[in-house]
Amino acid sequence: MEIKVFVSQPMHGLSYSQIYNRKRIAVGRLQKEIDALFPDEDIQIRIVNPIIHRDAPTTFPSETAERLWNLGRSIQYMGEADVMLVLKDWDGANGCIVENVCWERYHKDDNRICTLYFPSLISMPTDRIKAAIEYLRAK
């Protein structure tokens, strides 16, 4: 089984390396939790939203235009996702807030089950992970 995951994470003021490492750690941790909860199953994670959009224009008229373009592109990727993984400090990042509103509005049926909030990379909501996998399996 493959689970398509959209990662919502703060990015402003962070380097590509910092963003990449936070995403890598969170996804690795999620995969470990899934493997522990479902040891007899092959459940793989596929991230649907890249950090860098390869099709981005080379120049933008302003920093705001660039941010909005990237946010719009991210929202397009959200349509492919089964689960939304929300990383620490999302509620202080404009892009993450918009992504969360979009996810909530367009995934009304499964939003409560398939949204995984990780307030830290140490504690994982295993009950939520299990509920999301079981929900997706039955879908």
Distance, CA of 79 to CA of 122 (rounded, Å): 28
* Contact in structure between 89 and 12 (CB atoms under 8 Å): no
Given this model, what pLDDT does residue 1 score?
A: 92
Q: Rounded distance, CA 50 to CA 82, Å?
A: 16
Quick: pLDDT tens for 87-129: 888 889 999 999 999 988 887 666 666 777 776 655 677 888 8
* CATH number, residue 121: 3.40.50
CA distance 113 to 54: 31
Q: What are phi and psi of 110, to 5 degrees?
A: -115, 10
- Is-above-0.75 flag for pTM? yes
The pLDDT value given to residue 57? 80
- Report the DSSP beta bridge partners of residue 84: 6, 115
Segment 52-57 shows an average pLDDT of 74
Number of domains the chain contains? 1
Domain housing 58: 2-138
